[in-house]
Structure 1
């Protein structure tokens, strides 16, 4: 999955006309630790993952789509209040963490209710980078990545999501 994303991003063309330094100034985005808790409601579900940008330019997650949802929206949660967002920054050399209790995706108008053990295709759309399609595993409704204790220490949670992604997706 990461290899496919890297190959997809390697095919991006920078229209600025400069060739040598342009490659270093592009986003290089990878998706890790993606999961959807098995939805308890028939019409919506949440999606979580970490985007890592090893490139020299920032990008923005502007939208997401999925074949199981009529709409996928981006949401932030601050002080217990959920609010729809138009986009999320993916900083150069940094990460965007979507986690329970924080930024997340909402899969709305579900066409069918995904079940634990299934994988749901989701395509992430960016301001600069080509779209990335990931197969997102559906976990039990109470699933939380290892070391996620509900704290707001996102950087600690992110490091753990990389190892838990590898251990939970190998077959």
Structure 2
């Protein structure tokens, strides 16, 4: 009698474990196909006019099937990097930028951009500065970004 009960309990446990694993793997499979595929292009920092503040611009392209968010940026030439959105004539600091699935995040003059405050040194045209972009879901992206002329305007 106890042998029958043991087999029944073992069978129930095996069935429960199998269903649980099937549920987990089904969720993982659908989750793994849905992710951001990020790459950065066109990054530059115009040579700052002062020793205290600089700006930064770039495009994050997402060819993936899920969105992500740029949550912070770190740099070798500033401990204080903030993200700003400009609407009309108003510039506001934001905590993150959305990067839509299959879309782009464009940080450009007159629009959303990065601000580097309390510069460790004033970078000169021709130099490169290191940036690391941090995202909500994706791995960080490290960049060596050229410092361009103060009035540099990339071609679109």
Common fold by TM > 0.5: yes
CA deviations on 1:61-84 (whole Å, 9 max, x unpaired) are: 010000100210000111111110
User: Tell me, what secondary structure is at the counterpart of 2:36?
Assistant: coil
Kept in 2: contact 1:36–1:48 (CA 8 A): yes
Residue 99 of structure 1: aligned partner: 108
Written as runs of structure 1 = structure 2, the 5 A alignment for 1:20-169 is 20-146=29-155, 160=156
8 A contact 1:118–1:138 mirrored in 2: yes
Following the alignment from structure 1 to structure 2, what is the Cα–Cα distance between the partners of residues 41 and 130? Answer: 33
Shift in Å, 1:19: 4.6
When the two structures are superposed, what TM-score results if normalisation uses the length of structure 1? 0.74
Name the larger-Rg structure: 2
Greater share of strand: 2
- Partners of 1:64 and 1:104 lie apart in 2 by 11
How many corresponding residue pairs?
132
Deviation digits for residues 4-57 of structure 1 (CA, Å, limit 9, x no counterpart): xxxxxxxxxxxx754543332011110000000000011110000000001111
Which sections of structure 2, spanning at least 5 residues, go unmatched? Answer: 1-23
Match of 1:11 in 2: none
Structure 1: runs of 5 or more not aligned: 1-15, 147-159, 161-171
